[in-house]
């Protein structure tokens, strides 16, 4: 792709994303749904104007890093800690039930081979934290108790999903599972999530002084993006998703994150956090829609034979299983039926995480064309289902 072609594709993505987001917001629907559908329309599924390549995927990754940083920046870590038990139970249920049900449907009802069934079950485990978070932000529900439970559960789900993917890939290649390596990766990720926000918080005085002493424009966004990228790289090196690094950076710079020994350091927090929000907002608003359009464009519905009875049978069973099994996790949320329903629905979308499982399964030869098409369909349907269902389920929730 030459430079002018890339510019044209980026132009199309930005304009179409904004157009569909505005239309869906006018219809009182989550704008993220409009952006994903925009990607489906201009992607291989319909017009084929945009076919995601390495460059667009990199831009999309920047978008999701910035989105999770923004979420971290607005997170009250104290409130998240209060719902930690609920989040853990939701996450565990949201992993075990979909994984087992996906495996059982594949092996017992669809008579698929053992390894294929394992991979299908692994795909059902995934939750797209990006889709979930953006829907909650669109609905202005990201500060609710339900949102805090879901955010904690989605972060844990993402960690477990990465470990499961590594285990399954190892098993498919070597025919055995190295549990020690999996446990080591999980330990590194846990330690990172504890230590990273503290380390980032210690940089607050440095960022404040550099921004005050700077004689040029753009010091704050430069330092913040450098911090996000640093955390993302470290997160990747220990085997965790890069987005956990950017989330940790956001949590550390949040106004509500205090160190037990850092009263002097907290002097910088409120004023600097406000400056960070003002400076980063335009950058976040530019890049985040790119991510959701690319997610939509990555869903290629043309690989699906919609005339096949076999396809509909397999896709129907797995889609129902994918939705119900995630919604069961909401039973652990404290509150009335609406709160439990909202929590369960928020865990449903598979998004880019499900597509990663599908791509790994196809490239490793585990998924044939039919299974791959079924998984793509399930991912697409769960991704589109959650924003619509959440809009109604969370109506009136404080």
Q: Is residue 213 part of a domain?
A: yes
Q: Is 230 helix (H, G, I), strand (E, B) or coil?
A: helix
In sequence order, what are the residues at sequence separation of 6 or more whose Cβ sits closer than 8 angstroms to the Cβ of residue 89?
A: 329, 332
Three-class DSSP category at 144: coil
* pLDDT average, residue stretch 90-106: 92
Q: Is residue 339 part of a domain?
A: yes
CA separation for the pair 16, 37 (Å, rounded): 10
* Residue 77, pLDDT above cutoff 70: no
Tens digit of each residue's pLDDT (9 = 90 or more) over 343-389: 899 889 887 778 877 877 887 788 888 898 999 899 889 888 888 88
d(CA 279, CA 286): 13
Residue 398 lies in a domain: no
Residue 310's Cβ-count burial label (10 Å; 0-12, 13-18, 19+) is: exposed
pLDDT score of 76 = 66
Which pLDDT band, with edges at 50, 70 and 90, does 79 fall under?
low
Counting residues of the chain whose pLDDT is more than 70, the rounded percentage is: 89
Containing domain of residue 283, as a range? 3-393
Min mean pLDDT across 137-146, 174-183, 345-354 is at: 174-183
Is 28 among the domain residues? yes
Tally of structural domains, the chain: 1
Structural domain contains residue 257: yes
Q: In angstroms, rounded to a whole number, what is the distance separating the alpha carbons of residues 301 and 152?
A: 32
Which residue has better confidence, 363 or 234? 234
Residue 263 lies in a domain: yes
Q: Retrieve residue 281's tokens.
A: 């907002």
* Inter-residue long-range contacts of 19-27, CB under 8 Å, 24+ positions, other chains counted: 21/289, 25/138
Q: What is the end-to-end Cα distance of the chain in Å, rounded?
A: 48
Average pLDDT over residues 292-302: 90
CB-side neighbour CA atoms (13 Å) of 124 = 33
pLDDT score at 261 = 43
CB 74 within 8 A of CB 254: yes
Residue 312, burial from CB neighbour count under 10 angstroms (0-12, 13-18, 19+): middle
Q: Does 296 have pLDDT greater than 60?
A: yes
Q: Do 57 and 294 form a contact (C-beta atoms < 8 A)?
A: yes
pLDDT beyond 90 at 42: yes
88, two tokens:
């853990």
By mean pLDDT, which of 6-10, 74-78, 146-150, 324-328 is the weakest? 74-78
Q: Is 176 left (phi over 0), alpha (psi -120 to 50) or beta?
A: beta
For position 260, what pLDDT does the model report? Answer: 47
Task: Please tell me which residue, 178 or 316, carries the higher pLDDT value.
Answer: 316
pTM: 0.82
pLDDT at 138: 79
In the predicted model, what is the mean pLDDT of residues 125-136?
82
- Between 38 and 383, the more confident residue is 38
Average pLDDT over every residue of 329-348: 88
pLDDT band at residue 257 using 50, 70 and 90 as cut-offs: low
pLDDT tens profile 260-292: 444 444 555 567 777 888 888 899 999 999 999
CATH code of the domain containing 224: 1.20.1530.20
Q: What distance in Å separates the CA atoms of residue 376 and residue 361, rounded to the nearest whole number? A: 12
Within 8 A by CB and 6+ apart from 164, the residues are 95, 99, 122, 125
């Amino acid at each position: 792709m030459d430079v002018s072609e890339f510019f044209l594709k980026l132009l199309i993505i930005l304009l179409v994303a904004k157009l569909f987001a505005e239309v869906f917001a006018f219809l009182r629907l989550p704008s993220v749904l409009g952006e994903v559908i925009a990607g489906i329309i201009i992607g291989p599924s319909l017009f084929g104007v945009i076919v995601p390549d390495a460059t667009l995927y990199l831009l999309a990754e920047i978008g999701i890093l910035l989105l999770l940083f923004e979420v971290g920046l607005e997170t009250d870590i104290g409130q998240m800690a209060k719902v930690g038990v609920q989040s853990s139970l939701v996450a565990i249920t949201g992993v075990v039930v979909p994984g087992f049900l996906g495996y059982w449907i594949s092996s017992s009802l669809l008579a698929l081979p053992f390894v294929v069934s394992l991979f299908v079950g692994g795909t059902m485990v995934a939750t797209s934290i990006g889709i979930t978070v953006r829907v909650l932000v669109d609905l202005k529900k990201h500060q609710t108790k339900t949102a805090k439970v879901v955010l904690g559960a989605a972060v844990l789900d993402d960690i477990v999903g990465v470990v499961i993917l590594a285990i399954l890939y190892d098993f498919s290649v070597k025919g055995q599972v190295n549990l020690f390596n999996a446990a080591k990766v999980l330990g590194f990720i846990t330690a990172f999530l504890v230590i990273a926000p503290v380390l980032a918080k210690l940089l607050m005085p440095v960022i404040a002084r550099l921004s005050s002493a700077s004689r040029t424009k753009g010091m704050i966004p430069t330092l913040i993006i450098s911090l996000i990228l640093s955390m993302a790289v470290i997160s990747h090196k220990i085997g965790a998703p890069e987005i956990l690094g950017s989330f940790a950076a956001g949590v550390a710079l949040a106004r509500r994150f205090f160190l037990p020994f850092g009263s002097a350091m907290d002097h910088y927090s409120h004023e600097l956090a406000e400056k960070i929000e003002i400076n980063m907002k335009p950058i976040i608003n530019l890049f985040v829609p790119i991510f959701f359009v690319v997610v939509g464009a990555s869903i290629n519905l043309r690989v699906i034979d919609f005339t096949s009875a076999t396809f509909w049978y397999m896709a129907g069973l797995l889609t129902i299983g994918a939705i119900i099994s995630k919604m069961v996790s909401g039973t652990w949320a404290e509150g009335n039926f609406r709160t439990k329903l909202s929590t369960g629905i928020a865990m449903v979308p598979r998004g880019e995480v499900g597509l990663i499982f599908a791509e790994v399964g196809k490239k490793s030869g585990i998924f044939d064309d039919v299974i791959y098409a079924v998984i793509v369909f399930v991912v697409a349907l769960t991704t589109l289902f959650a924003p619509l269902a959440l809009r109604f389920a969370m109506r009136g929730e404080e």
